[in-house]
Amino acid sequence: MNAEWRWDFTYEILPKMLWATLNTIMAAGIGYAIAVVVGLIFLIGQRTPYRVINILVREIVEFIRSTPLLIQLFFLYFVGPQFGIILSAWVTAMITIGLHFGTYLSEVYRGALEGVPKSQWEACRALNFTTLYTYRRIVLPQAFPIAIPGMGNYLVGIFKDTPLLSTIGVAELFHAATSVGGEHYRYLEPYTMVGIIFLILSIPAAMGIRKLERSVNKAQGKAKN
């Protein structure tokens, strides 16, 4: 009987699942916003005039990228208190997601900057433009369209990795489904709803990113003409 779909049970748990969906969206959004800023910090740290700082930041980035997100969550949440670092599950989740995906976004930014022709940099130096002006008015407008696909992919990636947050007690979608299933001894409806909700949110997000990419490229093409 447990293998049969029950619509009455589905309607009963729907409010709880929708509330958990809001938590999931919030977790992904805040985590991504932190990752965007952290990625910029890591990028700047690897482009300073000081070789020691460049190497140190590079090693930190490689270390974070080379370890699983789940291990980082567990270490900060369960091991951190032994060193006096006591954080709530939500704060731990946001910091970990921000740091983890910030390293990947820093590589996206680096690749985008390297995608700008060297002649653009040389022309700016020849015209005696300041570094800030060069980045703000010349380089970044050309690098941004290159970075959009990678940034969009990691936004979707963060969203799909939010179920890992349930391992430290964050009340996101997967955590809610597990809780409901354990309480009622029915997992068919809650886990199916999780998959459907992720599809409903992920597909439009991916389509929106592609639309943004086309719009930016189109606007850039008009500017060149």
Residue 62 lies in a domain: yes
Which DSSP category does 136 fall into? I
Q: What is the pLDDT of residue 223?
A: 57
Residue 50 lies in a domain: yes
Residue 20 lies in a domain: no
Residue 164 lies in a domain: yes
Domain count, the chain: 1
Residue 186 lies in a domain: no
Q: What is the pLDDT of residue 140?
A: 81
pLDDT in tens, 38-86: 999 999 898 888 899 999 999 999 999 999 999 999 999 999 999 989 9
Q: Yes or no: say if 138 and 124 are a contact pair by the CB < 8 Å rule.
A: yes
Residue 14 lies in a domain: no
Residue range of the domain that includes 103: 30-172+196-224
pLDDT in tens, 93-151: 999 999 999 999 999 999 888 888 888 888 888 888 887 888 888 888 888 888 888 89
Q: What is the pLDDT of residue 183?
A: 87
Residue 70 lies in a domain: yes
The answer, yes or no, to whether residue 1 has pLDDT greater than 50, is: no
- For residue 169, give both structure tokens: 């007690």
Q: Yes or no: say if 42 and 106 are a contact pair by the CB < 8 Å rule.
A: yes
**CATH code, 51:** 1.10.3720.10
Residue 13 lies in a domain: no
